Amino acid sequence: MESTETSTGLQHYWLIIKRRWQPASFVFMLVVVLCTLITFREKPVYEAVGKLSFKKISPTSSLTGLGKEIGEVTAVGEQSNPLSTEVEVIRSVPMLQKTINQLKLKGKEGKALKINDFLANLNVINIRGTDVLTVSYKDQNPQITAAVVNTLINLYIENNQTVNRMEAAAARDFLEKQLPQAEAALRQAEAALRKFKEQNKVVVLPEEAKSAVEVIAKLEEQIAVAKSQYADINAQKLSFEKELQMNPKQGLTATSLSQSSAVQEALKEYQQTERQLAIEAIRFQPTHPVIVDLKNKKETLQALLKARIETVVGEAKLNKGNLQIGDSKPRLIEEFVKVEAKRQGLANQIVALSNVQMAYKQRMNVLPRLEKEQRELENKLQVSQSTYALLFQKLQEIRITENQNVGNARIIEAPEVPEEPITSRKKLFIVSGVLLGSLLAIATALVLESLDKSLKTVEEAKECFGLTLLGVIPALKKPDKVAQGNFFWKDKPNHKDLERPTPKIVVTNDLHTPISAAYRMLQANLRFLSSDKELNTIVVSSSVPQEGKSTVSANLAVAVAQVGRKVLLVDADMHHPVQHRIWDLTNQVGLSNAIVGQAELRMAIREVMPNLDVLTCGVIPPNPMALLDSQRISSLIDEFTTLYDLVIIDTPSLNVAAEALILGKKADGLLFVVRPGVVDSASATFAKELLEKSNQNVLGLVVNGVIPNHEPHSCYYFANESYSDAENLTDVFADKHR
């Protein structure tokens, strides 16, 4: 599909060139002649050449290993070429201006050579597949060419080394500014890490974590043992309390009192007085002096006992039964006190171990955070150390590099003064002239084609009108005596200046030409156009004058008459009639006379050949539309159809008058003639709209005056071997003064 479309497009452009070959040839020859004249008038030009070789890095840097990155020839983008960048550096304005100033180059007017003129003679290219640049300069003076190339490449090498040294100096300045900052950052990182370790008592956190885990495990084991022992001692304590009915403190108090002689003596007297009081209370009344004395004595002894008890044990509430505990209880109390002391010791031990364990666990919980903070501080310290070390190292390297001769370009071929001029320049100019002439010739043809708004091919006519194609009538070669009009508009005649001979009836004169075959094909297509009803009346018209509608009408009438049908050809073009000239008849009596009743039909109609009669226009009336839109013309058409098998009515073009539309409604159909190169797209569109608005029964389209060599599909319409037989015939072009 793409190949077919490409072939069609090329064929279209080829046809355009064929249609416009004369102006295109004129432009081509003009350009070639001008280029040839310029070539032979030009003075000899000399060219000097120098070559530069590039390495990725400077040879000095590659040997010392320092400053390799400075001046390195590398590409920045994926598609960029570093040598192309160096080409632009050589062609830069500062480099060129220095060369012009140093050599004091002058232009044609004696002034300093302009940059654009310098660039026009300078050529800097990269030799394909190498790291070599070729610098060449052209001038009419051979000494200047060598001097320019030599100066330019030396300035470039000097500039290359200067730029590289400037890069090294800029790098050194930057490092000298950054090094103190890096050192300060290093000191700050060291101080932060040291302060962190001091505040959090950090030595070695991983070892501390491992040790803490072991200590916590041992503490848990010790706490478990202590709790077990505490449970046993606590059980013993409860057993002693149950048996002694006292707590350890009370037991110690009872033991102290039982061992105090003063307390025991006072207790003994108190007990005796209490017994005596009990005995005397039986004998005497409570108010008896003996009883009173004994009570007073008892109270005195009770106070004395209390005072002695307080002297021994201090303030304490005691049971009197505990003042005399016997011989066995003191041993039990002693053991009870020992058990209590041991229990208290175990309790304190458990609390102490738990506190230590809690402290270790709290430390363990803090260790991950401390490790993270320490790691961050150590990373900062490491980065600061690396940055400082790198900057310090680079600074030392840059100081050494700055003193090196850093350059990666060298001259491998110095320019020499050329002895002979460029020999291929003339050939180049001629070839360029041919190419430029060809391009301008094609452009001229395309421009003229774009300015020409006429329909040029059968396909364009079909596409514009959208009608059925009934016939394609080929054009005949124009005779030399006929004026051709404007040179650049050969295929679009100037209607005011162009004079054409009267068209010929070619169907009669030569029956074996493509044009005769085309008319026979047209009458056959009309014959079989409608199978239901035979066509009796046909109106022939066109968009604009000079499309050959009168010629088509006359030759179609001949073609139909030759097959034995009786035909009447009516010239209804009352603006510029032509049928009487085609048939060499007088036009004194015709259709207009018959309409107004000034002549009979038998006198107006004339036989021009067997089966073919012609009714000329007659006297041209002042208002043709009034005659052709009358009832009389309708009656005449009805009368014609009874006398003839086919009536062909030649009418004016649609842009001249509306008679064709009026008669088209009275006939069986309208046959529309189009001539490529005569009708433009605007007129064609206007005619199409008139046909659609008037609701005409348009039978189809006849494309007249088609040049086979100018048609993209001419092989579909004509036989090429027969076309040569028609070259001696005159062009079928009708309607003089249209």
Q: What is the pLDDT of residue 17?
A: 63
Largest CA distance in the chain: 204
Question: How many angstroms separate the CA atoms of 592 and 576, rounded?
Answer: 13
**In which order are the strands placed within the sheet that holds 409-413?**
122-126, 132-139, 46-54, 409-413
- 453-726 topology per CATH: Rossmann fold (3.40.50)
Lowest mean pLDDT among 81-90, 201-210, 589-598: 201-210
First-residue to last-residue Cα distance in the chain:
44
Write the pLDDT tens digit of every residue in 375-406: 888 888 888 888 888 888 888 877 776 666 55
Question: How many angstroms separate the CA atoms of 36 and 431, rounded?
Answer: 10
Mean pLDDT of 176-190: 85
Residue with the bigger pLDDT between 415 and 210: it is 415
Contact assessment for residue 67 and residue 401, using Cβ atoms and an 8 Å cutoff: yes
Question: How many angstroms separate the CA atoms of 557 and 508, rounded?
Answer: 11
- Helices and strands (DSSP H and E) totals, the chain: 26, 12
Residue 449: is its pLDDT beyond 50? yes
Q: What is the pLDDT of residue 79?
A: 56
Q: Point out which residues pair with 454 in neighbouring strands.
A: 680
Local confidence band at 674 (pLDDT 50, 70, 90 cut-offs): very high
Q: Whole-number mean pLDDT of the chain?
A: 76
Angle (deg, nearest 10), helices 329-402 and 205-244: 170
Residue 572, CA atoms < 13 Å, CB-side half-sphere = 34
Write the pLDDT tens digit of every residue in 403-416: 665 567 788 888 88
Residue with the bigger pLDDT between 99 and 374: it is 99
Contact assessment for residue 113 and residue 106, using Cβ atoms and an 8 Å cutoff: yes
Q: Which of 701, 208, 200, 206 is nearest to 461 (CA)?
A: 701
Angle (deg, nearest 10), helices 681-693 and 458-465: 40
Q: Point out which residues pair with 571 in neighbouring strands.
A: 650
Q: What is the pLDDT of residue 580?
A: 92
Q: Which of 563, 573, 574 is nearest to 540 (CA)?
A: 573
pTM above 0.75, yes or no: no
Q: How far is CA 213 from the centre of its chain?
A: 63
Q: What is the pLDDT of residue 536?
A: 92
Write the pLDDT tens digit of every residue in 211-265: 777 888 888 888 888 888 888 888 877 777 676 666 666 666 666 666 566 666 7
DSSP state of 371: H
Question: How many angstroms separate the CA atoms of 58 and 408, rounded?
Answer: 4
Question: How many angstroms separate the CA atoms of 83 and 315, rounded?
Answer: 112
Local confidence band at 702 (pLDDT 50, 70, 90 cut-offs): very high
Q: Point out which residues pair with 411 in neighbouring strands.
A: 52
Please list the residue range(s) of the chain that carry CATH number 3.40.50.300. Answer: 453-726
